[in-house]
A and B are shown apart, each in its own frame.
Chain A
Amino acid sequence: MSRKLPHKDVVIVGFGWVGSIMAQELTDEGLEVIAIERGPWRDTATDYPPTYDQDELRYRIRHELFLRPDQTTFTFRNKMNQTALPIRTWGAFMPPNGVGGGGVHWNAETWRFLPSDFVLKTHLTERYGADFLPSDMTIQDWGVTYEELEPHYDRFEYLCGTSGTAGNLQGQIQEGGNPFEGPRSRPYPNPAQPQPFSHTLFGKAARELGYKPFPQPSGNMSQAYTNPLGVRLGPCTYCGFCEWFGCGNYSKASPQTTILPVLIRKSNFTVRDNSEVVRINLDPSGKTAAGVTFVDTSGEEWEQPADIVIVSAYAIFNAQLMLLSGIGKPYDPLTGEGVMGRNFTHQTISDAVGFFDNTKFNFNPFIASGSIGMCIDEFNGDNFDHGPHGFVGGGYMGQVQSNGRPIETTPVPSGTPRWGAEWKAAVRDNYLSSVKPGTGVHGSFYSYRDVYLDLDPIYKDRFNRPLMRMTIDFHDNELKQNAFLTDRFAEIIQAMGAKKVDKEYRQGPYDITKYQTTHLCGGVIMGTDPRTSAVNRYLQSWDVPNLFVVGASAFPQNAGYNPTGTVAALAYWAAAAIREQYLKNPGVLIHA
């Protein structure tokens, strides 16, 4: 039996980036808000102080700040006719856990999607004809446009103090920025970060090859910054312990460094940590959410009633919670019917590693921030003519190397033995003079009929509920895209003056042990038609109007950028819809 807590106006499930933004917006509206977070409270002093934050083994290799698979995991297979097996230790992605969510240990690469990404199906069909798309590709338009999201992107960037160079100011292309980006209403709040040697060299080589390189938009501060909420961030120190690590310097935008100091002080806000929501409860009509049930670390079960339920547990956990709560019709890949679990996607990442003459080049690879780098966008989205290439999609590419931590970043040229004297010498001779971008090619992953989420028939979680099953593989379209992009990327690394370039193409099958990014998307997608989307354009459940499911779970397919800029913009957009429309007249916002 669960114990019942006092009623609230709003309950928020998961307290990462989206949960923090929603809580900040809805408490500003005067609502009583409670957030429920699976993991512990996290802050700099407790979890990643500058005295020992630089511990590669603890944070990067042993995943200190992440979810433990014994708490919850997924099963995985490539194809529908295979038996899915549990992910026993994380590999291809790394689920966050705790207050701040992924915002604690992200790189803070803060991108906007292209205007055409939001109307992808329409755009590609108009330009290339419907027959150009693979028959099992299930891409869709989002139901929201870039123009509608622009003010919300802008709010997130100003919240974070994003450091960057604008490429398109109200339609005017700007020198030094990304000329392909959608128009932005004003410049970034901070100038771009200065670029270390290898990153600068990449920019120079790209320019000489005729591209238009620009600094990667970064949530690591180029200078001290006070955000619109009055919260202050310090300048980044290029410590090289950013991705996978919390920031000991308050220099990386995170809920902790941008929102929480203000939010926590509000009398109409509470967060419960170490408490996992296990179910969204519906009232007997099945059309209204009554609140949520959660279990704390002592095993005690609690019920939190509320008028509005916001699910912001991160993409895959949003889908998992919806499936386990039995809300929305589960997707059936055989008939193409149903919505929950539909259009699951990830990212198509590859790299090219450059080895340089160590008597001429010293890159000091340990000097970097999480979102440092020079990039080009010529091969993203539909920025180039795909006609001759026979695939759709693309990605940005760049020298975005964020570290020289020696467990992870001691590359040796292909052909070197993996151990022994020759290996040791190669590590020594190449460490300072190699370029290993990590996620050099950051490609899109479009959606397919047979890539989806559902409940596993065999494996169970600690509450004896089915694990969620992922069925995912790379399709020819993405592999062709990746081959083309990786070749272009390697040309630039070569042009930097490398004596040897090793191309590391992304190859099938999708491998659950190989880290790509933690940019999982889809499963609870947004759209204009309740038969092919689970939430409407305001992220409101089509079936349960007082339930909003916010996160990358809403992406109908994934673009060639990191997701969080768009995730946050969607959160502000959904919050605005709740504040300006829903509260005045609680109910369905879009009549299908």
Chain B
Amino acid sequence: MRLRRRDFLLTTAAILGGSHIALADSISGSLPWEPDAGIPPERIKLGSWLYFTSEEARTVEALADRIIPPDPATPGGKDAGCAVYLDRQLAGPYGSQHGLYVKPPFLKGLKQQGPQTEDGPAQVYRKGLAALNRYSSQGQDGKVFAELTGERQDEILKGLESGKLQLPEADGQAFFEALLKDIQQGFFADPIYGGNRDMVAWRMIGFPGARYNYRDWVNRHNERYPLPPVGITGRPEWTPKKS
């Protein structure tokens, strides 16, 4: 009997996705389709941090709110759940570079040759967040990043972005680029991953989400699409509220 990927996954710790190892099989005679063979995504569970320490999480929430500040109509990165998103991603295959080529030697290359570091995202954040707080608490600020004013936080982020500000024992610019990408991705990804809570990002821009069928609207040019967004697991109103 062929072991389907789903069965295989359910018997391993690889449930977080990304590692779909299946056994080789010889297929002939009929399509090897089976009911319920798919691997639906798992909705993240709210609760304690899986990867971040509480100090790291506080820093990431502060960072998320500078990258995506709250405004009267739309929450910022923190309340949209971007830190939760990032925490769950770092605890999963993304954080550990699952599936990437990580054989040595790690030589320093040209920019166009792509990243050549041994550290995966989980390490980049661990080192980057520590360095950021060391920089702000041991330097002129005398406080950890999350306690600084928004203005000062922006100044530090701009320094990291431009490369003018060097962090102790971490590549500040690479850390910043990872952060920018991940926070924004979490903001726009389906809410099952923890960010874009209540589809706030999709509402902000007018993206209807996972609807999958616009046959009735393809010829209705320059008319606003009337329906609100849905996600993979439905609409916020349909799911029990948890704080």
Q: Do A and B come from one complex?
A: yes
A86 to B, closest residue via Cβ: B101
B212's partner among A73, A91, A241, A510 (CB-CB below 8 A) is A241
- Say yes or no: B222 contacts A361, CB within 8 Å: yes
Would you give the 0/1 interface string for A288-313, flagging 1 where the beta carbon is closer than 8 Å to chain B?
A: 00000000111010000000000000
- Say yes or no: A238 contacts B214, CB within 8 Å: yes
User: Complex: how many Å from CA A273 to CA B23?
Assistant: 8
Which of these binds chain B: A127-135, A264-272, A383-391, A445-453? A264-272
- Say yes or no: A56 contacts B28, CB within 8 Å: no
Task: Decide if B127 is an interface residue (CB 8 Å cutoff).
Answer: no
Which of these binds chain A: B35-43, B45-53, B54-62, B167-175? B35-43
B161's partner among A43, A52, A418, A424 (CB-CB below 8 A) is A418
- Say yes or no: B112 contacts A509, CB within 8 Å: yes
- Say yes or no: A364 contacts B154, CB within 8 Å: no
B107's partner among A85, A265, A404 (CB-CB below 8 A) is A85
Chain B residues whose CB sits within 8 angstroms of the CB of A43 once the complex forms: 31, 33
Q: How large is the interface on A (under 10, 10 to 19, 20 to 34, 35 or more residues)?
A: 35 or more
- Say yes or no: A88 contacts B101, CB within 8 Å: yes
Closest CB of chain B to A452's CB: distance in Å?
17
Task: Decide if A116 is an interface residue (CB 8 Å cutoff).
Answer: no
- Say yes or no: A239 contacts B213, CB within 8 Å: yes
- Say yes or no: A46 contacts B37, CB within 8 Å: yes
Task: Decide if B189 is an interface residue (CB 8 Å cutoff).
Answer: yes
Chain B residues whose CB sits within 8 angstroms of the CB of A47 once the complex forms: 38
- Say yes or no: A57 contacts B66, CB within 8 Å: no
Closest CB of chain B to A167's CB: distance in Å?
23
Say whether, besides A406-B201, A420-B66, A89 and B114 are in contact (CB < 8 Å).
yes
Which of these binds chain B: A74-82, A147-155, A180-188, A523-531? A74-82
- Say yes or no: B210 contacts A78, CB within 8 Å: no
CB contact list, B3-37 vs A, under 8 A: 4-5, 17-18, 20-35, 37
User: Complex: how many Å from CA A70 to CA B93?
Assistant: 13
Would you give the 0/1 interface string for B162-185, flagging 1 where the beta carbon is closer than 8 Å to chain A?
A: 000000000000000000100011
Task: Decide if A477 is an interface residue (CB 8 Å cutoff).
Answer: no
Say whether, besides A77-B113, A274-B25, A513-B114, A364 and B161 are in contact (CB < 8 Å).
no
Closest CB of chain A to B198's CB: distance in Å?
15
Would you give the 0/1 interface string for B196-228, flagging 1 where the beta carbon is closer than 8 Å to chain A?
A: 000001101111111111110111011111000
**Residues in chain B within 8 A of chain A (CB atoms):** 4-5, 17-18, 20-35, 37-41, 66-69, 71, 74, 93-94, 97, 99-103, 105, 107, 109-116, 154, 157, 161, 180, 184-185, 188-190, 193, 201-202, 204-215, 217-219, 221-225, 232
Task: Please name 20 further chain A to chain B contacts, defined as beta carbons within 8 Å, in addition to the given A88-B116, A194-B219, A512-B113, sorted by A numbering.
Answer: A45-B35, A45-B38, A47-B38, A51-B38, A62-B18, A69-B99, A73-B101, A78-B112, A264-B31, A265-B29, A271-B26, A272-B25, A274-B23, A362-B223, A362-B224, A363-B222, A367-B225, A420-B154, A427-B204, A431-B207
Q: Which 10 A-B pairs rank lowest in CB-CB distance, beginning with the nearest?
A: A68-B99, A296-B24, A431-B205, A54-B210, A274-B24, A197-B221, A406-B188, A511-B112, A69-B101, A237-B213
